């Protein structure tokens, strides 16, 4: 048994959960916030049998798209107390996925 923790973009979440439900994959959705962009994303928890793990990863790859996001660098003070702000594009990945071993899985 494995625990998959997937951090996804909010835009992909409903489609991903719909696919999981169709495939009989149990999932818990948590609202989360990325430390760098400080904007909302979604963390999904899935407990899954090891033999189904590849199938789950394939679904995530199919549904989750990477996107360009415009962000601003931290404001930099310059000599006369005015500020300059740089905007730049970063690429946010389709998903960040952690796979952990589970010692015990109990549903009471
Ligand atoms: P954020 O922390 O808001 O990061 C959003 C995107 O900003 C990242 O996309 C990456 O492209 C960029 N980024 C993050 N930290 C950076 C840095 N120090 N310098 C330059 N660019 C940086 P992803 O890598 O696809 O990450 C998407 C979200 O997944 C992250 O949102 C965070 O919530 C989570 N995440 C990514 N790696 C993680 C890790 N090792 N541990 C925990 N959460 C992680």
Which residue owns the Cα nearest ligand 1 atom 30?
34
CA of 80 to the centre of ligand 1 (A): 33
17-64 pLDDT, tens per residue?
A: 999 999 999 999 999 999 999 999 999 999 999 999 999 999 999 999
Is the pLDDT at 79 greater than 90? The verdict is no
Residues pairing with 46 in the sheet = 4
d(CA 105, CA 48): 10
**SS3 assignment, position 95:** strand
CA of 47 to the centre of ligand 1 (A): 23
CA of 81 to the centre of ligand 1 (A): 31
pTM of the model: 0.89
């Amino acid at each position: 048994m494995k625990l998959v923790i997937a951090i996804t973009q909010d835009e992909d979440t409903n489609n991903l959960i719909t696919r999981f439900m169709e495939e009989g994959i149990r999932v818990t959705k948590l609202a989360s916030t990325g430390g760098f962009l400080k904007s909302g994303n979604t963390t999904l928890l899935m407990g899954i049998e090891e033999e189904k793990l590849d199938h789950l990863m394939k679904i995530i790859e199919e549904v989750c798209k990477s996107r360009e996001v415009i962000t601003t660098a931290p404001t930099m003070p310059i000599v006369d107390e005015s500020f300059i702000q740089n905007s730049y594009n970063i690429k946010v990945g389709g998903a960040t996925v952690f796979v952990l071993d589970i010692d015990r899985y109990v549903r009471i």
